[in-house]
Amino acid sequence: MSVTPRHGKSASIWIDSTAGTLINFSSGVRSMTLPRSMDTPEVTTFGDNDRNYIVGLRGAELSFDGVFSSTHAEVLDGIFGDATSTSYSFEFSPDGSTAAGRHLLKGELVPASLEYGASFDDAVSMSVSWTVTGSITSTNH
């Protein structure tokens, strides 16, 4: 199987606003990650010579950081100030959202942390992390 390398510059991230509208956060974002994990409970018992494990629960987190934008901050501040919503939809395409055959990950997020930063000799920054709740759908579009 041949691998076709793709540049990360076309990555995209869309997240629901408090109004339930998907908002494109891609402009201004410098890096994104979506690490996924799987619990592996140990089931080794007396008499076993090797450790044994079973497949457990999946988990994931989404984070991104980049240049501060007051437009994005307005949406993020609304999300992090919303005590009524249980989750927000997301769409993450690590290799671009417009071309056919690109990878698309979808799911629901719960806000975890939001940070704004400023330094006298650098651009104002933002950093956001989320906990994925439920499953992630992985497709090519």
Q: Using one digit for the tens of pLDDT, what is the confidence trace for 39-61?
A: 999 999 999 999 999 999 999 99
Residue with tokens 């330094």: 119
Mean pLDDT on 9-19: 91
pLDDT digits (tens, 9 = 90+) for 99-135: 666 788 999 999 999 999 999 999 999 999 999 999 9
Q: In angstroms, what CA-CA distances link 115 with 13, 57, 65? A: 18, 29, 9
Give yes or no for a contact between 89 and 104, defined as CB atoms under 8 angstroms apart: no
Angstrom CA distances, 88 to 52, 85, 99, 123, stand at: 37, 8, 25, 28
**85 vs 80, higher pLDDT:** 80
Alpha helices in 1-141 (DSSP H): 70-81
Q: What is the pLDDT of residue 141?
A: 62
Q: Please give the pLDDT value at position 98.
A: 60
**113 touches 88 (CB < 8 A):** no
User: Model's pTM, two decimal places?
Assistant: 0.85
Amino acid (1-letter code) at residue 50? D
Kindly indicate the confidence band of residue 37, based on its pLDDT and cuts at 50, 70 and 90: very high
CA distances, 37 to each of 40, 103, 105 (Å): 10, 19, 15
